[in-house]
């Protein structure tokens, strides 16, 4: 995307033993799918010379009706609640738009069209705040989870239904873990890593660098190395004894050699790898978030935008009932405070499209996440146009712009709400379907990583 954000796509390779040699499985990892706890796309090369990537039936069902699920029951997962509350909110906004455009439909309703639009708007905007917060919780937790590659269909058939729960990684030097090894990876974004290392040093954390590989020693690296020795810590100790390490303490570097390995509570080496997949539950708020994840940045922008958007949704009816408010107050509290968050909605929709596609310009029509983001982008435009097209009627003479208010502003709310509603449905299908839905797999132009 841009140098500010981490890459949102990568080709990852996992290794496993098979008869006659080492089997390598390649997957297209996507940041959005990872956050939604979906499997990355398993790749095979049908035409090696042309590099044609296809989904393999050994890891994904071949029939689309086996890959797609309309809904799921996962109340222990924050994304499930985000989808549920979001679709209820979108439904309220569709009702709001219907009665804003066609108020005559409420002739036989006791509360009247004005009350319907006000209360659906207040409740709908309030639920936007809830999904903004839930999206933030999803981002600061799921973005740092371990990569889940799909098992073979044979293994999946034998095992019970997998319950998707958050598995937060431990912080590395005070910074949350990135599933592809950032921010301490030396393979991508070297300038960004240099800034990260400097920040870590400023916080007072010691950095332990393996001089032979240039990698920083972390618990996850330790576990991966121990795994190569099949959990035999003594064999690992014999292999790394004498290895040189650099201990970086602020501006000072201490050179040491490894003599032995010990765990925290004994004088013998640990004989089992650290379980990085152990669930510790959700973090509901944090001051230490990483805005280099575009998903985290988007979630923060959307959460702030929903809070601001709720203000005019609450304020317009009481201000109208209190008499004739000043024009400047009306424009600011009712319309400017709709325009600003709507710009945020537009940005988040566009940025989410970029996250799903791996590009700010090139679309990915094979990605359901891209289509959901595109419709959210359209919905944001509709809400933006409502506020903008309402302004001529506010500053002009009474009745001067009735048609514009009805067929321009109110209609924009209606079709914007419809776009949000369809996007919410797609997001529910997206989350419920762990396997990739489309056979295309989208663009695979991404940095290669090994897992």
Q: What is the mean pLDDT of residues 378-393?
A: 94
Q: What is the mean pLDDT of residues 76-102?
A: 95
Closest CA to 10 of 224, 189, 214, 151: 189
Tokens standing for 236?
């690992």
pLDDT digits (tens, 9 = 90+) for 13-59: 776 545 444 557 788 889 999 999 888 888 764 444 344 444 445 67
Instruction: Please check the confidence at residue 332 and state whether its pLDDT lies above 80.
Output: yes
Reduced to 3 states, what is the DSSP secondary structure of residue 26? strand
Q: What is the mean pLDDT of residues 419-435?
A: 94
The model's confidence at residue 162, banded by pLDDT at 50, 70 and 90, is: low
Reduced to 3 states, what is the DSSP secondary structure of residue 30? strand
The model's confidence at residue 98, banded by pLDDT at 50, 70 and 90, is: very high
> Which residues are CB-contacts of 281 (< 8 A; sequence separation ≥ 6)?
166
- Residue 434: its pLDDT value, please? 87
Instruction: Please check the confidence at residue 279 and state whether its pLDDT lies above 50.
Output: no
- Residue 60: its pLDDT value, please? 78
- Residue 449: its pLDDT value, please? 40
Beta bridge partners of 252: 249
Q: How far apart are CA 360 and CA 182, in angstroms?
A: 22
Q: Which residue has the higher pLDDT, 287 or 93?
A: 93
- Residue 356: its pLDDT value, please? 93
Reduced to 3 states, what is the DSSP secondary structure of residue 208? strand
- Residue 47: its pLDDT value, please? 40
Beta bridge partners of 450: 13
pLDDT digits (tens, 9 = 90+) for 225-262: 766 777 777 777 788 788 888 887 777 788 888 887 76
When the pLDDT of each residue in the chain is averaged and rounded to a whole number, the result is: 79
């Amino acid at each position: 995307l841009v140098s500010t954000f981490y890459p949102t796509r990568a080709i990852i390779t996992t290794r496993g033993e098979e008869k006659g040699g080492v089997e390598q499985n390649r997957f297209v990892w996507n940041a959005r799918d990872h956050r939604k706890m979906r499997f990355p796309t398993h790749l095979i090369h049908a035409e090696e010379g042309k590099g044609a990537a296809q989904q393999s039936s050994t890891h994904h069902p071949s029939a689309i009706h086996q890959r797609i699920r309309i809904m799921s029951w996962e109340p222990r997962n924050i994304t499930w609640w985000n989808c549920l509350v979001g679709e209820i909110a979108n439904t309220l906004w569709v009702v709001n738009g219907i009665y804003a455009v066609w108020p005559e439909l409420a002739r036989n309703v006791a509360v009247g069209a004005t009350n319907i639009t006000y209360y659906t708007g207040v409740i709908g905007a309030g639920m936007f705040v809830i999904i903004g917060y839930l999206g933030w919780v999803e981002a600061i937790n799921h973005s740092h989870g371990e990569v889940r590659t799909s098992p073979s269909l044979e293994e999946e058939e034998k095992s019970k239904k997998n319950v998707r729960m958050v598995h937060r990684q431990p912080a590395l030097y005070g910074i949350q873990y990135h599933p592809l090894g950032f921010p301490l990876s030396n393979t991508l974004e070297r300038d960004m890593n240099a800034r990260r290392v400097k920040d870590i040093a400023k916080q007072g954390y010691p950095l332990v660098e393996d001089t032979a590989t240039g990698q920083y020693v972390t618990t996850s690296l330790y576990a991966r190395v121990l795994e190569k020795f099949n959990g035999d810590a003594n064999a690992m100790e014999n292999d790394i004894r004498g290895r040189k390490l650099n201990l970086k303490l602020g501006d000072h570097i201490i050179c040491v050699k490894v003599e032995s390995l010990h765990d925290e509570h004994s004088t013998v080496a640990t004989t089992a790898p650290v379980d990085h997949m152990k669930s510790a539950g959700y973090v509901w708020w944090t001051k230490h978030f990483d805005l280099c994840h575009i998903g985290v940045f988007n979630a923060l922008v959307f959460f702030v935008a929903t809070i601001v958007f709720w203000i005019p949704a609450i304020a317009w009816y009481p201000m109208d009932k209190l008499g004739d408010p000043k024009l400047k107050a009306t424009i600011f509290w009712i319309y400017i405070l709709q325009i600003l968050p709507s710009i945020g909605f537009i940005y988040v929709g566009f940025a989410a499209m970029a996250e799903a596609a791996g590009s700010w310009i090139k679309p990915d029509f094979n990605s359901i996440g891209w289509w959901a983001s595109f419709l959210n982008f359209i919905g944001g435009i509709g809400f933006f146009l409502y506020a903008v097209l309402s302004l001529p009627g506010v500053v002009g003479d009474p009745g001067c712009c009735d048609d514009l208010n009805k067929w321009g502003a109110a209609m924009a709310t209606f079709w914007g709400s419809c776009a949000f509603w369809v996007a919410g449905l797609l997001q529910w299908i997206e989350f419920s379907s762990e396997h990739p839905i489309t056979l295309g797999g989208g663009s695979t132009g991404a940095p290669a990583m090994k897992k």
